Amino acid sequence: MAHDLERLFAALWNDYIRLAPDAQAIHQLFARENNGQVINDHIALRTFNLLEVNLDTLARPFVQAGYQPRGEYQFPQRKLFARHFEPPHPELPKVFISELRVEQLSRHAQAIIKTLVAQVDKSAAEQAHFCYSGRAWSLNLEHYDRLLEESEYAAWVAAHGYHANHFTVSLNHFQQPVTLEQVNQKLIQAGFAMNDSGGLIKGSAAQLLEQSATLARPVTVTFSDGQREIPGCFYEFARRYPMADGRLYQGFVAASADRIFESTHTKKT
Ligand code: NI
């Protein structure tokens, strides 16, 4: 079972680095200092809340492999709901899955998203490899732009489909203790663009979780009527702090995740 999951995360990574051109270089930066071992705190998946592809559908292969549903998170302004899943083995990443509340968008945007999801083969969506299978629908630039007006998240999922939206390096697993400030400085010095919405560091030791993230670099996406450069995937960094019982906090902080969603935005807010 653990081997199946390791294979799944390796496949997710190999898919993800095509959409996160910086990820492999950043991974190597930290692998060099940690005997080649970079442990992931979590990966994140994004989807629409329509039955065929919703959060529960994406979670099913992970739950069947022993993952347990834990925290739930609301992002009312982004019209998102999310849940995180904890792994059967502590060296495996947590899985954070968000879904867009499609019914809260305009009728036009809802209609566009429904025509996309209608192209998904239902049985395919229940397979483990669906979460890195890319876009299961055809999309034109007009519909992409229409979604972008209402929801950056909707436009991202419509354009890219299914991938790990980000991987997250666990600072707690580094061989030498390191602060998130030090990691951020190293990344900035190496020339990587960081998400500074609300400050470079989201969260705090008091909240038991500090996070930072790169900005997703543009990648070329092919639409049914042309190509465009749009933000792809990004890389995240997390440092967790112990709870009163001494164990590291394993949940997420909604206000921090809210800022991190902006790493794939086309417009800066
Ligand atoms: Ni994350």
pLDDT in tens, 107-124: 999 999 999 999 999 889
Number of helices followed by number of strands (H, E) in the chain: 9, 10
Distance 253 CA to ligand 1 centre (A): 10
Q: How confident is the model at residue 269 (pLDDT cuts 50, 70, 90)?
A: low
pLDDT in tens, 161-205: 999 999 999 999 999 989 999 999 999 999 999 999 999 999 999
Distance 224 CA to ligand 1 centre (A): 30
Distance 205 CA to ligand 1 centre (A): 17
Distance 226 CA to ligand 1 centre (A): 31
Mark the residues whose beta carbon lies below 5 A from ion ligand 1: 44, 168, 236
DSSP annotation string for 149-178: HH-HHHHHHHHH-BS-SEEEEEGGG-SS--
154 residue type, one letter: A
Distance 189 CA to ligand 1 centre (A): 23
Instruction: Please give the span between the terminal C-alpha atoms of the chain, in angstroms, as a whole number.
Output: 43
Helix (H, G, I), strand (E, B) or coil at 90: coil
- Burial (CB count within 10 angstroms: exposed 0-12, middle 13-18, buried 19+), residue 11: middle
